[in-house]
Amino acid sequence: MTTSDVLDTAGRARSPATMPGFGRGRAPRNKGLRFPADPPTVEEIVAVMRCAGDSRHGLRTRALIVVLWRAGLRISEALPLAESDLDRSRGSILIRRGKGGRRREVGWDAWAWQHLNAWLEIRVAMRVGALLCVAERANARATLDADRGARDAAPARGHRRGAPALRPHQLRHAHAVEMAREGVPLLVIQRQLGHANLGITSIYLQGIDSSEIIDTVHRRPAPILPASAGLR
């Protein structure tokens, strides 16, 4: 492992991975791979947020988690965000270049804004750049980190503090499953996630447990029939 590789994983300010255009022309390391939906529970996500702590690096990690989780963004969409892409009055985030170069606007809830505010308050004193810029003198205590290291979370760090290991894309899966449970129409979930077709969205919803499906169908009310359509 070279020095650059170490700096990339650590997300240091002088790392080549933090420079504009670093990933241009590089194929994603997960290209062509397919992973089953594996959404974490709310309790597991909150445990990781607590594990991050209240340091500058911890607040940045919490901000990244809520962006991925509550807006359902890809890690490649979250890291380039600028503060100007946030619209607090509308409760939205502008994705200037999503997968396939597509531009879209997604919704975001008030709870997520509250957790982002703590990071924004200290972000103003840092250098101009991305919303989730590198926090120098990082105290890497959480299982999910930003920048280059966001794609390779360090499970051992979280396990030592009793938190589960999370991958960034799992938070996107959690967002989709939670909205489905809340009764959000499938087309709205598709648009929120930026999927080209509903088939991809349906894969995300495979994370819904079979017992939940059985219980939901079991609780369906009896059909309402007109008197003339009786079975006798």
Q: Residue 125: what pLDDT? A: 80
- The arithmetic mean of pLDDT across residues 57-81, rounded, is 90
Q: Who contacts 133 (Cβ-Cβ below 8 Å, separation ≥6)?
A: 60, 123, 126, 127
Report pTM.
Answer: 0.69
Cα 116 from Cα 98, distance rounded (Å): 21
Whether the per-residue pLDDT at 156 is higher than 70: the answer is no
Break the chain into its structural domains and give their ranges: 7-12+35-209
> Does residue 166 register a pLDDT over 50?
yes
Q: What is the pLDDT of residue 85?
A: 92
Confidence check: pLDDT of 47 > 50: yes
Residues involved in catalysis:
74, 99, 169, 172, 195, 204
pLDDT of residue 163: 66
155 pLDDT tier (thresholds 50, 70, 90): very low
pLDDT at 12 over 60: no
CATH of 7-12+35-209, one of 3.30.470.20, 1.10.443.10, 3.30.70.120, 3.40.50.10470: 1.10.443.10
Which residues, at least 6 apart from 161, have a Cβ–Cβ distance to it below 8 Å?
A: 51, 141
> Percent of the chain beyond pLDDT 70?
62
Q: Give the mean pLDDT of 68-77.
A: 91
